[in-house]
Amino acid sequence: MTPSRWRGTAQSAETWWVVRPDGHLAARGSKGEDFAAALMTAAGVVTSDRILVKGTHA
Amino acid sequence: MIGDIPYEIDWVSTYRFHQRVVARLRVGRVLFAGDAAHSLPPYGSRGMNSGIQDADNLAWKLASIHNGQAGEDLLESYHIERYAAARENLRVTEATIRFMVPPNRLRRWTRSALLRLSHSLGLAQKHVNSGRMAEPFVYTESPIVQQADDSLLGSFAPDMRIVDEPSRLRRLLGHRFVALCFATTGARAAELLLAGPFRVVRHGGRVACRRPGRGRSRRRSGHSLR
């Protein structure tokens, strides 16, 4: 992957990314109000009933 | 494999290896990683790399659970993400094995032809499979990775050189969650600086801001980008 791939994400509008501690990209968005929910999901805080209990995907 | 050049064989031996993966990397409170979870042929440095990536994937999840930030269900994502990575490693190394040790005469003939052609034909070189180097797996099917039409999601963050300082983006990541924001203007980056403990970096004329994320703090994380 090259830096140009980053540039492609930033050219048109402001973009945020959630980067996990292992360096993987977990979520992206452009609205600030969406960030908190994305972070909670990526961190496993929003768990269980909906996502992880049965190992199924959201 | 070495082509049409003179060579001398000094030593010949039989080399056996296995390729297998456990059915589940998580069984209750037991977690399998590295060689305990998967056995891979030695092509592409996948055994060591995948073992390190298992640990990297698991460490932050265990820490989150230990610190009370996430429930044990988070560990299910370890199985989902790393089991898929192990299966992919098996798929890739199996293809290498089929090339290195052709199972029948037709494949052997094909391999010989490809090797001959590879000296002069670039297209043929692409099909010479002496081992594909390991790359970080992309967690596209993970329940904790956003499902959207973006090939970067789930991948290892692309690195980039940072202008004005002798560093690279990946050196600024790791250890904790990070919010990485690409601002469209310098003025917007300045706004973000006022909103929270962001750090502004530049690359190629673009501005990126990052701040350490805190999985526990919904309010602070949400407000930081508003």
pLDDT value, residue B213? 53
Of all residues in chain A, the one with the smallest CA distance to B207 is A10
Of B70, B174, B219, the CB nearest to A43: B70
Count Cα atoms within 13 angstroms, Cβ side, for B180. 29
Q: What percent of chain B has pLDDT over 90?
A: 39
Domains of chain B, each with CATH number or no CATH: 20-125 (3.50.50.60), 161-223 (no CATH)
Checking if the pLDDT of B104 tops 50, the result is: yes
Confidence band (pLDDT; 50, 70, 90) for B26? very high
Most confident of B9-18, B41-50, B74-83, B112-121: B74-83
**Average pLDDT, whole number, for chain B?**
83
Looking at beta carbons, which residues of chain B come within 8 Å of A27?
145-146, 153
Checking if the pLDDT of A48 tops 70, the result is: no
CB atoms A57 and B225 under 8 Å: no
CB atoms B157 and A25 under 8 Å: yes
Torsion sign across C-alpha atoms B164, B168, B174, B179: positive
Which candidate in A12, A52, A53 is best for mutational testing of the B interface (most B CBs within 10 A)? A52
Checking if the pLDDT of B60 tops 90, the result is: yes
Rg for chain A, CA atoms, rounded: 14
User: Is B177 in contact with B215 (CB distance < 8 Å)?
Assistant: yes
CA distance B95 to chain A (A): 23
Report the C-alpha gap between B205 and B182 in whole angstroms: 11
Q: Which residues contact A46 (CB under 8 A, 6 or more apart)?
A: A37, A40
pLDDT value, residue A58? 38
Predicted model pTM: 0.79
Angle at B137 between CA B94 and CA B170, to 5 degrees: 140
Count Cα atoms within 13 angstroms, Cβ side, for A18. 29
pLDDT value, residue B216? 37
Of A18, A23, A40, the CB nearest to B218: A40
DSSP-H helix ranges across chain B: 46-66, 74-100, 105-117, 122-125, 169-172, 186-195, 218-223
CA distance A54 to chain B (A): 8
Cβ-Cβ pairs closer than 8 A, A with B, add up to: 191
CB atoms B143 and A24 under 8 Å: no
Report the C-alpha gap between B14 and A48 in whole angstroms: 49
CB atoms B222 and A27 under 8 Å: no
Most confident of A39-43, B55-59, B160-164: B55-59
Of all residues in chain A, the one with the smallest CA distance to B26 is A55
pLDDT digits (tens, 9 = 90+) for B146-197: 998 888 999 999 888 777 777 788 888 878 898 888 887 777 777 777 776 6
pLDDT value, residue B208? 64
CB atoms B141 and A58 under 8 Å: no
| Residues in A lying within 8 Å of B, measured between beta carbons | 1-3, 5-7, 9-10, 13-28, 32-33, 35-36, 38-45, 47-48, 51-53, 55-58
Q: Checking DSSP bridges between strand B206-212 and strand B167-168, what pairing results, if any?
A: unpaired
